[in-house]
Each structure stands twice: as C-alpha cells, then as structure tokens.
Amino acid sequence: MGTALFYHLTRRPMEDTLAMLLGKATQAGMRVIVRGADLGRLGWLDEKLWQGAEDGFLPHGLAGGAQDAMQPVLLTVARDNPNGATCLMTIDGAPVTAEDVAAMDRVCVLFDGNDAQALETARAQWKTLKDAGSTAQYWSEEAGHWEKKAET
C-alpha cells in the first residue's frame, strides 16, 4: 500500500513542480503515470516537458501511441496502467481513489493553491482518501521550500 502526497502549489507553476517530481521518481527507478483531466492540457504538458533543460531530459509519452507500455512516464486521462507504473501523479483535479493509493507505491496530487476550485477538489480528495484509511501527507511550498504540514 502506497502513500498519497498532496502538493499545494503556491509559488511555482505546476509543470515545473511536476518535472521536478518526475525527475526524482524516474531517478529512483519508478515508472510513472501522469493522470490529467483534459487531453488538450496533457498535449500542452507533453510539449513543455520536451522543452525542458537538456541536462534534465525526461523521456515520456502521451497515451495512445504504439509504445505506451515502454514509456517510463505516460501522460493520460485514462484510469489504466499500460506502462506498469508504480507511481501515479494527478494534475488539474484528475480523479484519485483509495484503490489507486493501494495499487501504487506513491501517488502525488498536485493542485494550484491559488485556484479556489482546485483547492476545493483537493480537500475533497484528501477527505475521501483519509476516510478510506489511506496514508496521506500534505506538503506546502508557502514558506519558499517544501514542508510537510499534515499526515494521516
């Protein structure tokens, strides 16, 4: 059973924090699913990740290609796991369940703390996971660096 890590973004854009977390996860040998809520937004994110720093090259793919199973990082709106990921990262309020947390080593929920709807969605997800008995941690960057503020 994994842990859900909620990342309350207030200082950096989602794509920057996501790239940092993806780099750490892949360096640790994890395969990752990035679950979004909108395919167009994932297409934009796919382009952003390819434009990253050369020394921080992050191999990844957008779901729907012939090589989905081989991707170390797969961007998708679907609930399946074609690349055998052990880490799930959700963005833009994409759904996350206690079953997801149980199936993965790590689940990261990134949400924009400056967006009232995103904050409300993250709070509901936190409550749902907590009520289901999932282990969860809440991380904030409000002080200029990441600090763990709460844990279930």
Where do the domains of the chain lie, and which CATH numbers do they carry?
Answer: 3-146 (3.40.50.10110)
3-state secondary structure of 152: coil
Quickly state the pLDDT bin for 54 (edges 50, 70, 90).
Answer: low
Contact 100, 87 (CB under 8 A): no
**Per-residue tokens: 121:** 């969605």
Q: How far apart are the first and last CA of the chain?
A: 14
Spatial contact of 73 and 31, defined as CB atoms under 8 Å apart:
yes
Band of residue 52 on the pLDDT scale cut at 50, 70, 90: confident
Question: What gap in Å lies between CA 74 and CA 64, rounded to an integer?
Answer: 10
Higher pLDDT residue, 53 or 115? 115
Mean local confidence (pLDDT), 11-30: 94
Is residue 62 within 8 Å of residue 70, measured between CB atoms?
Answer: no
